[in-house]
Structure 1
Amino acid sequence: MRKASRLFEIIQILKRARHAVTAQAIADQLEVTPRSIYRDIVALQAMRVPIEGERGLGYILRPGFDLPPLMFSVEETEAIVLGLALLERTGDQALKQAAKGVNAKIAAAVPGPLRQVLQSNALQAWGSIAPAPDGIDLGMVRHAIRDEQKLLLDYRDEWGNATERLIRPLALIYYSATAVIVAWCELRQAIRNFRADRVEDCQPDDTFFRGEGNRLRDLWISGWTSGNPAST
């Protein structure tokens, strides 16, 4: 989790809390070290976020502080609801969990009539649900795309041949059956697609391709054929 996102989440945790929350408790929720939380608290206090407390005793957010509200029209709210429902059909467990958090945060922030839209279950997204792939964490792939970090795959192609690929992940396409990773393949020296359900293992490499992602995505988009972005 990047620092900006972590600072936002710390504020949300403190807003929901009824009592002082320790740095350890916050760290456990965000999967970082207490030392990181101590630094984040100092950074937030420097930005005049009214957090009170100290190490060992915990922290509280003074009543009355809030982030600027998000105001959506009914149609915009319905678009969000449907988009979150569609995430349930992917095999990305982290995105499914994130969707629940988004729903809760929006429901707590919007006026009553729009809150009813979020909670009414009037909009549904039905269809087959993609199973979570066994050999790869799609959350890690999304993280690698953002950080422009290479990934090392143990992959089995459609004929069952096993191969090892070092890739530069560029995009994720979610289908009803599986997710497809669009990447620059170091072995083939070209853009290739890798089905998540054919990945037997995936590990982050210690090398990066920073500054190249947008150029490679433009190359990928320029090669689309028949309106299918997954074509190669």
Structure 2
Amino acid sequence: MRKASRLFEIIQILRLARQSVTAAEIADQLEVTVRSIYRDIAALQAMRVPIEGERGIGYILRPGFTLPPLMLSVQETEAIVLALALLERTGDTELKRAAKQVNRKIAAVVPAPLTQAFSANALHAWGTAAPVPDAVDLGLVRRAIRDEQKLLLDYRDELGSATERTIRPIALIYYSQTANIVAWCELRQAIRNFRADRVEHCEAVDGFFRGEGDGLRKIWVDGWTAVPTAG
């Protein structure tokens, strides 16, 4: 177990303990040497974590100590860093901007040993990034999914035929080439997939399908075994 993970686990053990815990008991739980625990306790105390006690007697976390609102292991932190990096490849301008904000917020609240994962610039998600669609704001689509609000699309299918569609958006799939809007199409009266790069205009309309989203998503999921139909 890496040191940063041990520091996190030691705080958790002491926080949940009803009485003092010896270094030997902590070492047994974490499967490390007692000497390692002594060094870790000293490191935490140097970071002003209010741990009281001494060798041979045990340690407690002083009452009133408030943990940061977000406590993550090293592996969990790295998973978030990589997930945020992957958002750079979506073509969703609003999500990419939000990813940078999330990165800063988490780095500000996690314990000091974990902040390195956010600043080390060691994890990357390279590869082809989807272009930002010209005529549809993916942030608008995501809000319409959340609010269960209908959208009006000017859409051109794979054959080049132009149609106007009123849709009930239920999901958004990000591929490396483009994003797909999954929706109930009122023209076709069925679930359809609309490629964002084929949308020529998109706007929210004064119509909602509140309470229907989960049911429509179930229809969509139940149809996964079938060949998906475009536009």
Please confirm whether the aligned pair reaches a TM-score higher than 0.5, indicating the same fold: yes
Q: Distance in 1 between matches of 2:162 and 2:68?
A: 51
Q: Which structure 2 residues correspond to residues 81-230 of structure 1 after superposition, within 5 A? A: 81-225=81-225
- Please list the CA deviations of residues 63-107 of structure 1 after superposition, one character each: whole Å capped at 9, or x if unmatched: xxx996111111110110010000000110000000000000001
Q: 3-state SS of the aligned residue for 2:176?
A: coil
Q: Which residue of 1 aligns with 2:11?
A: none
Gaps of 5+ in 2: 1-65
Gaps of 5+ in 1: 1-65
1:113 shift after superposition: 1.5
User: What letter is aligned with 1:189?
Assistant: Q
User: What letter is aligned with 1:135?
Assistant: A
Kindly report structure 1 stretches of 4+ aligned residues shifted beyond 6 Å.
Answer: none
Q: Distance in 1 between matches of 2:89 and 2:225?
A: 26
1:225 shift after superposition: 2.1
User: What letter is aligned with 1:223?
Assistant: G
Q: Distance in 2 between matches of 1:142 and 1:88?
A: 17
Q: 3-state SS of the aligned residue for 2:89?
A: coil
1:69 paired with 2:103, answer no
Q: Distance in 1 between matches of 2:214 and 2:111?
A: 39
Q: Which residue of 1 aligns with 2:9?
A: none
Q: Distance in 2 between matches of 1:152 and 1:97?
A: 26
Q: Which residue of 2 aligns with 1:26?
A: none
Q: Which residue of 2 aligns with 1:30?
A: none
User: What letter is aligned with 2:170?
Assistant: L
Q: Distance in 2 between matches of 1:135 and 1:108?
A: 36
